[in-house]
């Protein structure tokens, strides 16, 4: 069985609800992502056939290694779900105990599990017993309420259960994505457990990720919002790690990335739904360039793939905006209800 890479030189694509579908995962892999996670998928939805859950699991032989991220609050649902996923050929799994979005918390899932660590451990135990050793990870936060940390205790108990790795987003659930991630807590977790620790949170630029690895000693990291706004962040990060020149950030380079995303979307989906989705995503890639509003207006008038490709070519002619627009955190909204970073 293929080994799951967890090293500083093997960046992952994080689970991005609503975004990290098969075409986007393939795009990020071509930019250097060593592993990718599915969008988080409801264990109950998989068990009872909820709408959209099967689409989240669409994959391809080149989409490997792939980690299926599950969320839920009832340990009893996870046994049969794991059996079904293993029968379908999936081999790597992650329990989402970090999503702070209200509709997830209402069901007792996601970061709400940090309030009920016994339930979190029970679910993780079911997953570990069903899967092969080292193939189940858990994503956690510092705790649920600000100042009420329990991540170290939870992590030690998860290690005793036999999980393969722990991903920490070093904010509290109540913070959502506000404020700064507490990277010093990543270093605390690295010292507290023998398991590989994967960093998440505030890795918005390649330079952030390099600094995070150097400051915390984490075994690996995953890009979320940083990849959403610039899929080439993997290539940029790896270039920095290897002391090589960074890929250009000009319109021509971004236009090539967009063309590849359009091609992959047509190849692996091609549905009207995927067309509308990619049409809405393209302006994100051009946020650091001038005249993005005009591009967005033009894209909205596109009714077929050919027109979309032609409009996307216009990115190559756009000039960079000033440094405040290209480097500021305003390009990365911290309260995106669809994305888990």
**3-class state of residue 34 by DSSP:** coil
Torsion 28-29-35-36 (CA) sign? positive
Task: Give the active site residue among 28, 99, 212, 327.
Answer: 99
Q: Minimal CA–CA distance to 95: which of 130, 48, 145, 52?
A: 130
Cis peptide before 237 (omega within 30 of 0): no
Per-position DSSP letters for 96-165, written without gaps between them: EE----HHHHTTT-GGGGGG-HHHHHHHHHHHHHHSPTT-EEEEEES-SSTT---HHHHHHHHHHHT-SE
CA angle (311 as vertex; 229, 227 as ends), nearest 5:
10
28 belongs to the catalytic site:
no
Q: How many CA atoms does the CB half-sphere of 12 hold within 13 Å?
A: 27
For the CA atoms of the chain, what is the radius of gyration? 19
Beta pairing, strands 165-169 & 35-37: unpaired
* Cβ atoms 213, 221 nearer than 8 A: yes
Cα distance between residue 228 and residue 18, in whole Å: 11
Q: Chain-centre distance of CA 4, in angstroms?
A: 16
**3-class state of residue 69 by DSSP:** strand
CB atoms under 10 Å from CB of 87, counted, come to 8
Tokens (6 digits) for 137: 């990870």
Torsion 202-205-207-209 (CA) sign? positive
Cα distance between residue 73 and residue 170, in whole Å: 22
Task: Please give the positions annotated as active site.
Answer: 99
């Amino acid at each position: 069985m293929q080994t799951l890479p967890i090293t500083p030189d093997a960046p992952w694509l994080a689970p991005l609800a609503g975004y990290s579908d098969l075409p986007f995962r393939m795009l990020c892999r071509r930019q250097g992502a060593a592993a990718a996670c599915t969008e988080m998928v409801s264990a109950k939805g998989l068990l009872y056939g909820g709408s959209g859950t099967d689409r989240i699991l669409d994959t391809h032989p080149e989409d490997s290694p792939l980690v299926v991220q599950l969320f839920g609050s009832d340990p009893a649902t996870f046994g049969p779900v794991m059996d079904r996923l293993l029968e379908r050929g999936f081999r790597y799994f992650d329990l989402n105990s970090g999503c702070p979005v209200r509709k997830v918390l209402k069901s007792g899932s996601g970061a709400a599990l940090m309030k009920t660590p016994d339930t979190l451990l029970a679910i993780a135990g079911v997953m570990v017993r069903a899967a092969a050793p080292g193939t189940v990870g858990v994503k956690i936060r510092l705790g649920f309420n600000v100042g009420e940390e329990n991540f170290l205790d939870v992590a030690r108990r998860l290690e005793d259960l036999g999980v393969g790795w722990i991903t920490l987003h070093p904010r509290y659930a109540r913070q959502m994505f506000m404020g700064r991630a507490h990277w010093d807590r990543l270093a605390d977790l690295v010292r507290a457990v023998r398991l590989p620790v994967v960093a998440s949170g505030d890795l918005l630029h390649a330079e952030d990720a390099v600094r995070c690895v150097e400051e915390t000693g984490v075994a690996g990291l995953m890009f979320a919002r940083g990849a959403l706004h610039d899929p080439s962040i993997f290539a940029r990060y790896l270039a920095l790690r290897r002391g090589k020149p960074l890929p250009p950030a000009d319109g021509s380079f971004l236009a090539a990335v967009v063309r590849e995303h359009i091609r992959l979307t047509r190849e692996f989906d091609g549905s009207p739904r995927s067309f509308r989705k990619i049409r809405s995503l393209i302006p994100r890639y051009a946020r650091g360039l001038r005249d993005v509003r005009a591009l967005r207006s033009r894209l909205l008038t596109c009714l077929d793939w050919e027109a979309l490709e032609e409009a996307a070519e216009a990115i190559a002619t756009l000039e960079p905006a000033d440094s405040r627009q290209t480097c500021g955190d305003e390009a990365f909204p911290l309260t995106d209800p669809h994305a888990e970073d």
